[in-house]
Amino acid sequence: MAIKKLKRESFPERLILNHIIILSNVFGIEASSTLLLYKIDKEYWPSLKPFMKKLHMSILAFLIIVAVGLGYIFFILPEQMEKDFIAKVPDSVKLDYEKFSLDYIKQGAILSNVEIKINDFNGVIKANEINLQDLGDENIGLSIKLLDVSSDGIEYHANQFDVDSLSMPELLLISNEFNKDIISGLQALKNAKPKTVEMMKINDSRLRVLPPDERKINFSNFSVGEFGNGMIKDASLDSFSLNDDSGEIKIGVLSIGSLPIPDPMEMQNDPLSLLVGNEIGPIKIMNVEGIGIIGQGIAAKISQITLTKPKIVLSNKKIPYLADIKLDVQKVDFPLQVIPRGVRRVLREYIEGDSLSVNLALNIQANHSEKTFSPEITLGEEKNADLTLGASLQNIPDEFFDLAKLSYLDRNQLLGKIQNSAKLGEATISYNEKGLANKFINIQAKKMGVTVNKFKDQMIVGVESESLKSSSDKFKMNIAQLIEFIKQPKNLNIKAKPEPPLKISELVRLAIMDRELLNKSIDLNVIANK
């Protein structure tokens, strides 16, 4: 062993210390000391003593450093950070809390049993726990447990409120502007810097407006991916409900891809202008239920509403108009009793149960530069039929794209201008059978006291008589397709294309005065059951 060579004028001190340290790490200090004394001759014990003393002093020094460090971390550092934190609290805010501690994992501070009062806010904010993270550049991360806010006329509660990143200067600026007036506050929201808020989540929230205007708002989850630069992005709302004297509205899910923050001044002048040049949507709303909205005690339900990125542009006169919109409304259920009695009596022959289930789809494209307007609308009932009407119009008057700013008189005159100048490029009709045509045939056959086949034959004879009035082979082919649909109703598609495009007024005139010329002027195609 190295110890046996201690009498040499020079010997490896570090090697000896390393041996002793290894033994101490493996067997512990007490056991390794016993082993050394057992293995080394007694005459060498005095030489061993300085090394053991040095080792024990090193360990002691390490323990002292650790103790001082832990003392600083757990006692001095929290106290210093608490002083720094209090110094940063604005004078307008009164902050009381029971305990201040540090979250060493998230590198933040934790306040327990917090109560906050703010000047010009006649209320109090309470929280079971607030966790703050300093993210640098005056940004903080925020997590609040059991948040309660009470003020004149309102009570608010949230089980959990989290924000990954929040710009404190922007938040204080917005708060100060709202203290001035609502217009200034909305303007501050519009002008907020990019990423003022990143990933905000609120869970299990409820708001109560106290009497006399009592209403209750509840939702399970609300989140915003990003807020700032005049936009809200990736927002979602789950299990929303609103109760007031008029009834109750429930929304299962609401999601918005992007939504511009309104400029309060522009909003006062023209609400559409704030949407110009901004990306909106997509917007999706699912499982909507309204009770007492249509009528007392009457409920209406909507399965899904989808709005796909509507596009707002400026006309030649710099007036905003809707250039592109796609709206899809699925399964709108409402009771028949809200429909006028006369219509209701007819519908009951075709509707099973006491409610209608309606689908609606709207697709509109407009272009002021090309003077075109192309609407398409689909209306359907779940157990009866779907009907789609489409058109492509040309030479639309400029006033049509300035509709948002037209006077009442100008709007009344616009219809006449459209009839005299607009041209039909193409029109389409699509019918998809779900039971309506067959129900109609059965009902009419019963009223006439004949069989279904007999009634169909009578309809076919009437249609065939029309083909005898025309010498056009194309017309006769279309009549044949219509007969095919009568025999077995499935679907029917009709496309009319004037060659060349005809003015609306001319189409109306030909339909009344000269149907033969109308047939020659329009390329008509009828396709059944394809």
Q: How high is the pLDDT of residue 50?
A: 64
Residue 297 lies in a domain: no
pLDDT beneath 50, residues of the chain: 1-9, 57-76
In a shared domain, residues 50 and 108: no
In a shared domain, residues 382 and 421: yes
Distance, CA of 187 to chain centre: 23
Q: How high is the pLDDT of residue 367?
A: 96
Handedness of CA 401, 406, 412, 416 (dihedral sign): negative
Beta bridge partners, 492, equal 431, 528
Q: What is the distance between the alpha carbons of residues 51 and 24, in angstroms, rounded to a whole number?
A: 13
Q: Contact, 191 vs 170, CB < 8 A?
A: no
Question: Which own/partner pairs from 70-77 qualify as long-range (CB within 8 Å, at least 24 positions apart)?
Answer: 73/102, 73/104, 77/102
In a shared domain, residues 39 and 142: no
Q: What is the distance between the alpha carbons of residues 262 and 273, in angstroms, rounded to a whole number?
A: 9
Query: What are residue 352's phi and psi, to 5 degrees?
Result: -85, 130
* Residue 460: both structure tokens together: 């076919």
Q: Measure the CA dihedral 194/199/203/206, to 10°.
A: 0
Q: How high is the pLDDT of residue 358?
A: 92
In a shared domain, residues 210 and 102: yes
Residue 280 lies in a domain: no
Amino acid at 79: E
In a shared domain, residues 512 and 486: yes
Q: How high is the pLDDT of residue 100?
A: 82
Instruction: Give the C-alpha distances (Å, rounded to integers) separating 335 from 43, 290, 361.
Output: 108, 12, 21
Range of the domain at 164: 90-243+254-263
The half-sphere exposure of 184 on its side-chain side, counting CA atoms within 13 A, is 9
In a shared domain, residues 100 and 73: no
In a shared domain, residues 140 and 215: yes
Q: How high is the pLDDT of residue 362?
A: 95
Q: How high is the pLDDT of residue 139?
A: 86
Q: How high is the pLDDT of residue 64?
A: 42
Residue 13 lies in a domain: yes
SS3 sequence of 358-421: EEEEEEEEEECCCCEEEEEEEEEECCCEEEEEEEEEECCCHHHHHHHHCCHHHHHHHHHHHHHH
In a shared domain, residues 34 and 113: no
**Which residue from 345, 223, 330, 242 is spatially nearest to 284, judged by alpha carbons?**
330
Q: How high is the pLDDT of residue 2?
A: 45
In a shared domain, residues 114 and 34: no
- Other CB atoms within 10 Å distance of the CB of residue 354: 10
Q: What is the distance between the alpha carbons of residues 34 and 55, in angstroms, rounded to a whole number?
A: 15
Q: What is the CATH number of the domain that holds 202?
A: 2.60.450
Q: What is the distance between the alpha carbons of residues 70 and 62, in angstroms, rounded to a whole number?
A: 12
pTM of the prediction? 0.75
Q: How high is the pLDDT of residue 102?
A: 76
**Which residue from 144, 185, 138 is spatially nearest to 166, judged by alpha carbons?**
138
Residue 333 lies in a domain: no
Residue 489 lies in a domain: yes
Instruction: Give the C-alpha distances (Å, rounded to integers) separating 61 from 68, 76, 227.
Output: 11, 20, 52
In a shared domain, residues 375 and 412: yes
Residue 515 lies in a domain: yes
How many residues belong to the chain?
Answer: 530
In a shared domain, residues 109 and 33: no
Residue 309 lies in a domain: no
